[in-house]
């Protein structure tokens, strides 16, 4: 049940019942994955279209110099991959950091996909692209505090849009090392930056949840503008 995708799409426009019906049919096959599973690795053949139904994860790229970069997070409702519609081979690994479920489109249906569903897939890929470009700007032009704050602004909005945020907090099963690999700093510097954000009263943590103590302040620190998430 692609409820999260439907919820997010309906944050802007109401969907016709027929469309919802098609979506539910398209993503009716669901698979389970346990925490720390990798549905695919960089270089694997891209076989299916896949959509995250529940859980959490990130996309990860391994560099020749031995370092790795997290290039994006996936939350329920996100297109995990457009499969062979995008490229024959995956350019990154997908890691699910908690037990998750995702839907895959049966291969035979790929060839006969309704045009309007094909267009939806294009829009979903384009949204990933928009997010990626925001990350480029984040990595290239923001200093530590703003850069880290921006990551949490983004995730906060994305979680809220799918109804996964509980008040001002949301599930965040990610280590500081993984935050570091996302924003391009060392774990030591990320630790100090998170402490600064806590001192600012903008951000806090409770176990595996992130708490946006003051969203307005956090967005001000980050220079965050949510338009890229539409």
DSSP state of 1: -
The only residue of 44, 91, 107, 166 in contact with a second copy, by rule CB under 8 A: 91
Specify whether the CB–CB gap between 53 and 96 falls below 8 A: no
Phi, psi of 121 (to 5 degrees): -60, -45
Residue 177 binds which entry of DNA, a second copy, none, with Cβ cut-offs from 5 to 8 Å by kind?
Answer: DNA
**CA 12/CA 121 separation, integer angstroms:** 17
Residue 121 binds which entry of a second copy, DNA, none, with Cβ cut-offs from 5 to 8 Å by kind?
Answer: a second copy
Binding stretches for DNA (CB under 7 A): 143-145, 175-177, 184-189, 191-195, 207
- The neighbouring-strand residues paired with 94 are 40, 59
144 makes contact with a second copy (CB under 8 A): no
86 makes contact with a second copy (CB under 8 A): yes
215 makes contact with a second copy (CB under 8 A): no
223 makes contact with a second copy (CB under 8 A): yes
Closest to 56 in 3D by CA, of 143, 147, 175, 149: 175
In the chain, which ranges are continuous DSSP H helix? 3-9, 17-26, 107-111, 115-141, 144-161, 176-183, 187-199, 215-222
126 makes contact with a second copy (CB under 8 A): yes
188 makes contact with a second copy (CB under 8 A): no
Per-position x/- string for 2-31, each x denoting binding to a second copy as judged by CB under 8 A, each - no binding? ------------------------------
Q: Which is nearer to a second copy, 204 or 215 (CB)?
A: 215
Phi, psi of 226 (to 5 degrees): -75, 0
Closest to 51 in 3D by CA, of 5, 19, 16: 5
The only residue of 15, 125, 187, 196 in contact with a second copy, by rule CB under 8 A: 125
Beta carbons within 10 angstroms of residue 59's beta carbon: 22
Residue 30 binds which entry of DNA, a second copy, none, with Cβ cut-offs from 5 to 8 Å by kind?
Answer: none
Q: Which residues bind a second copy (CB under 8 A)?
A: 43, 59, 61, 63-65, 67-69, 71-72, 82, 85-89, 91-92, 113, 115, 118-119, 121-123, 125-130, 132-137, 139-142, 146, 181-184, 223-225, 227-228, 230
């Amino acid at each position: 049940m692609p409820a999260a995708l439907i919820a997010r799409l309906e944050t802007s426009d109401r969907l016709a019942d027929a469309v919802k019906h098609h979506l539910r049919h398209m993503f009716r096959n669901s698979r389970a994955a346990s925490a720390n599973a990798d549905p695919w690795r960089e270089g694997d053949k891209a076989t299916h279209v896949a959509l995250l139904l529940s859980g959490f994860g990130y996309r990860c790229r391994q560099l020749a110099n031995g370092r790795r970069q997290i290039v994006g997070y996936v939350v329920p409702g996100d297109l995990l991959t457009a499969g062979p519609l995008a490229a024959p081979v995956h350019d990154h690994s997908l890691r699910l950091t908690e037990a998750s479920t995702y839907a895959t489109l049966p291969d035979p249906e790929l060839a006969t996909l309704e045009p309007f569903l094909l267009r939806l897939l294009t829009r979903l890929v384009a949204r990933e692209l928009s997010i990626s470009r925001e990350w480029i700007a984040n990595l290239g032009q923001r200093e530590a505090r703003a850069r880290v704050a921006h990551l949490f602004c983004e995730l906060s909005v994305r979680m809220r849009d799918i109804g996964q945020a509980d008040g001002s907090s949301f599930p965040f099963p990610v280590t500081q090392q993984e935050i570091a690999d996302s924003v391009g700093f060392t774990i030591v510097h990320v630790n100090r930056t998170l402490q600064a954000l806590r001192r600012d009263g903008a951000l806090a943590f409770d176990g595996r949840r992130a708490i946006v103590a003051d969203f307005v302040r956090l967005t001000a620190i980050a220079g965050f503008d949510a338009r890229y998430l539409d």
